Amino acid sequence: MAVTSIWPIKGRVDKVINYARNPEKTHDKERLSELHEIEGVVEYAADEMKTEKRAYVTCLNLHSEETAAQENYIGEIRSQNDRDAQESGRRKRAFVLTFGCQQNEADSEKLRGLAKRMGYDLTDRADDADLIAVNTCAIREHAEKRALSIVGQYKHLKEKNPNLVIAVCGCMTAQAHRCEQLKKSYPYVDIVFGTASIHRFPEFVAGRLGGGKRRFCPAEEKNAVAEGLPIERESDYRAWVSIMYGCNNFCSYCIVPYVRGRERSRTPEAVCDEVRGLVAKGYREITLLGQNVNSYGKDLGIGYDFADLLAEMDRIEGDYVLRFMTSHPKDASRKLIDVMASSRHVAHQFHLPMQAGSDRILKRMNRHYDTAQYLATVDYLREKIPDVTLTSDIIVGFPGETEEDFAGTLEMLRRVRFDMLYSFIYSPRKGTPAAEMPDQIPREVQGERFDRLLALQNGIGAEKNAAEVGQVRRVLCDGVSKNDPALCSGRTDGYKIVFFAADPADAGKFIDVRIDRADAYALYGTKV
């Protein structure tokens, strides 16, 4: 049988086959033999000796059995590292550098966990490392250039230590042109892989240590969910928990669906087990991650959504707070808001990216909502949760944005009055529809509009924060501030940053703080 191409398959084909073969479910016995033929096709395509597109079949769902296949590679590397340590008196070290969002941070925690399992000690210095992994971001071109610049600086480390293994991974590497650039212009880079192949990190490292060729952009398992990976968390009281991966929205400016694949959800059991374990270990803040958490569960086909997941996790006993990001306005349901309002542990904070205050621009962005729908969601949110902290994202200078369109964005800021705003000047991303749109806005116009937006939001933020003065807020302390050793910093339930007199023993604890003063960016108070 000749297989020229295996296309991505949505869903679990094995479940369909098993269901149909069940005599209690399927009565057409004459057709059952055909299912064996389907199984044969799946098994054939999954054989890497028969087709290189193995990923698109085996990745219908990756569970512990797939990640367990990496244990052999982990064992080989660890044994060699143990032997080398005995001979040299020094353990090999691994360094992981992260660019980008919270999802990238969560991915890097898995990379560190895998490195530790392979027998590497972790270091925060690249020049002290025997294994370097640079986890990249592709949201804006600036992030890509920064990552490439730093990778360029590692050339001298490779010259100094020829046995150094350098890996570049993450969203940037899923773009063919960046992968080719790394291959041609960075000959000292050993391994390049995307976000969906993190579980194969030991395999790639083992291959290179064993004298194998440089590895570039292996087949991406973009429909996969890999469970059971070790996680080396940076904090012992704040934790990231990915509940889903990928995105189906295809906003015209966004590269994420192209580099992270389509939406796929972890099972409720897997997510709740992870959260339950974190609570048992004393974690105080758990943030649920996804490109669009409001789409959680749609691909599972079990009639279970994000609101159901939140409600189930809220029943876990303990002293902790649940957060989530990011939400898409088109999927922010009243059911979700109702669950938040009645919960014991879900923070009264909602990040709801608006992106623009013009219906015409929202349509060009392919956002699938208008300003009226957005305002209706905000009104319901504030009706049910009066003390909610509302934050948002705004893109300034999107292609075709007129002064009238931008005036609509400013008016939405005045109407909604966000507590905090994350605003960005539009950055074209190669491969997205927006990058090819006419009427690209000149940089100087973008900058001038950005300054006006920032000035307006600073005034609103200052007024919102001023209303906090005199209130006592429960704050999760992050320890002594890096900028001022006389102060500790922490976050309120609404995720507003608070500074108060330093006590290193408060790190990782909930502290009651009376707010004494405020500015546009922070609150300042006294422990009570």
pLDDT digits (tens, 9 = 90+) for 250-288: 999 999 999 998 999 999 999 999 999 999 999 999 999
Say how far residue 409 (Cα) sits from the centre of its chain: 27
Q: What confidence score (pLDDT) does residue 228 get?
A: 87
Q: How many domains does the chain have?
A: 4
Specify the range with the lowest mean pLDDT, choosing from 37-46, 178-187, 248-257, 321-330: 37-46
Tokens standing for 512? Answer: 């009651």
Cα dihedral across residues 62, 63, 69, 74: positive or negative: positive
Residue 176 belongs to a domain with what CATH number? 3.40.50.12160
More reliable by pLDDT, 512 or 5: 512
Prediction pTM value? 0.85
Question: Confidence class of residue 510 from pLDDT cuts 50, 70 and 90?
Answer: very high
Domain membership of residue 84 (yes or no) is yes
- CA triple 166-171-172, angle to 5 deg: 65
Residues 503 and 386 in one domain: no
Over residues 374-398, the mean pLDDT reads: 98
Residue 488 belongs to a domain with what CATH number? 2.40.50
Over residues 137-165, the mean pLDDT reads: 95
More reliable by pLDDT, 226 or 477: 477
Q: State the chain's mean pLDDT as an integer.
A: 89
Q: What confidence score (pLDDT) does residue 218 get?
A: 59
Question: Measuring CA to CA, which residue among 19, 69, 444, 64 is closest to residue 224?
Answer: 64
Residue type, 70: Q
321-363 pLDDT, tens digit per residue, is 999 999 999 999 999 999 999 999 999 999 999 999 999 999 9
Distance (Å, rounded) from C-alpha 492 to C-alpha 168? Answer: 36
- CA triple 504-505-510, angle to 5 deg: 105
346 secondary structure, DSSP code: B
Q: State which of 5, 37, 60 marks the end of a domain.
A: 60
Domain membership of residue 523 (yes or no) is yes
Q: Is the predicted pLDDT of residue 26 greater than 90, yes or no? A: no
In the chain, % of residues over pLDDT 90: 80
Residues 340 and 373 in one domain: yes
Distance (Å, rounded) from C-alpha 338 to C-alpha 383? Answer: 10
472-484 pLDDT, tens digit per residue, is 999 999 999 998 9
Domain membership of residue 8 (yes or no) is no
Domain membership of residue 233 (yes or no) is no
Residues 89 and 162 in one domain: yes
Q: What confidence score (pLDDT) does residue 219 get?
A: 56
Who contacts 72 (Cβ-Cβ below 8 Å, separation ≥6)?
none
Bridge partners of 121, per DSSP, are 93
Residues 314 and 455 in one domain: yes
Q: Is the predicted pLDDT of residue 44 greater than 50, yes or no? A: no
Domain membership of residue 187 (yes or no) is yes
Distance (Å, rounded) from C-alpha 258 to C-alpha 6? Answer: 18
E strand residue ranges, 378-419:
389-396
Q: What confidence score (pLDDT) does residue 68 get?
A: 72
Residues 267 and 389 in one domain: yes
Residues 160 and 279 in one domain: no
Who contacts 174 (Cβ-Cβ below 8 Å, separation ≥6)?
138, 194, 195, 217, 220, 258, 259, 260
Residue type, 325: M
Question: Confidence class of residue 69 from pLDDT cuts 50, 70 and 90?
Answer: confident
Who contacts 321 (Cβ-Cβ below 8 Å, separation ≥6)?
284, 285, 286, 345, 346, 347, 476, 493
- 326 prior amide bond cis, ω within 30: yes
Specify the range with the lowest mean pLDDT, choosing from 27-36, 213-222, 315-324, 406-415: 27-36
Residues 258 and 384 in one domain: yes
Cβ-based neighbour number of residue 239 at 10 Å: 24
Domain membership of residue 6 (yes or no) is no
Question: Residue 176: left (phi > 0), alpha (psi -120 to 50), or beta?
Answer: alpha
Please say whether the beta carbons of 345 and 315 come within 8 A: no
Distance (Å, rounded) from C-alpha 323 to C-alpha 336? Answer: 13
Say how far residue 494 (Cα) sits from the centre of its chain: 21
Q: State which of 419, 446, 466 marks the end of a domain.
A: 466
Highest mean pLDDT among 52-61, 224-233, 340-349: 340-349
Residues 507 and 368 in one domain: no
Distance (Å, rounded) from C-alpha 3 to C-alpha 263? Answer: 27
In which element (H, E) is residue 288 found? strand 285-289
Q: State which of 416, 449, 466 marks the end of a domain.
A: 466
Question: Confidence class of residue 137 from pLDDT cuts 50, 70 and 90?
Answer: very high
Q: What is the CA radius of gyration of the chain?
A: 25
Q: What confidence score (pLDDT) does residue 196 get?
A: 87
Please say whether the beta carbons of 3 and 53 come within 8 A: yes
429-471 pLDDT, tens digit per residue, is 999 999 999 999 999 999 999 999 999 999 999 999 999 999 9
Q: What confidence score (pLDDT) does residue 43 get?
A: 46
Residues 429 and 492 in one domain: no
Q: What confidence score (pLDDT) does residue 332 get?
A: 95
**From residue 133, how far is each of 36, 194, 264 by CA, in Å?**
43, 12, 25
Q: Which residue range is the domain that position 21 belongs to? A: 13-60
Cα dihedral across residues 82, 83, 85, 86: positive or negative: positive
Question: Measuring CA to CA, which residue among 350, 126, 87, 109 is closest to residue 229?
Answer: 109
Residue 362 belongs to a domain with what CATH number? 3.80.30.20
Distance (Å, rounded) from C-alpha 468 to C-alpha 459? Answer: 15
Residues 458 and 487 in one domain: no
Residue type, 14: D
Distance (Å, rounded) from C-alpha 372 to C-alpha 412? Answer: 10
Residues 133 and 201 in one domain: yes
Domain membership of residue 2 (yes or no) is no
Residues 203 and 149 in one domain: yes
211-220 pLDDT, tens digit per residue, is 989 998 755 6
Q: What confidence score (pLDDT) does residue 65 get?
A: 64
Give the HSE-up count for residue 375: Cα atoms under 13 Å, Cβ half-sphere.
14
78-127 pLDDT, tens digit per residue, is 999 999 999 999 999 999 999 999 999 999 999 999 999 999 999 999 99
More reliable by pLDDT, 350 or 40: 350
Q: What confidence score (pLDDT) does residue 226 get?
A: 84
Domain membership of residue 374 (yes or no) is yes
Q: What confidence score (pLDDT) does residue 63 get?
A: 52
Over residues 158-182, the mean pLDDT reads: 94
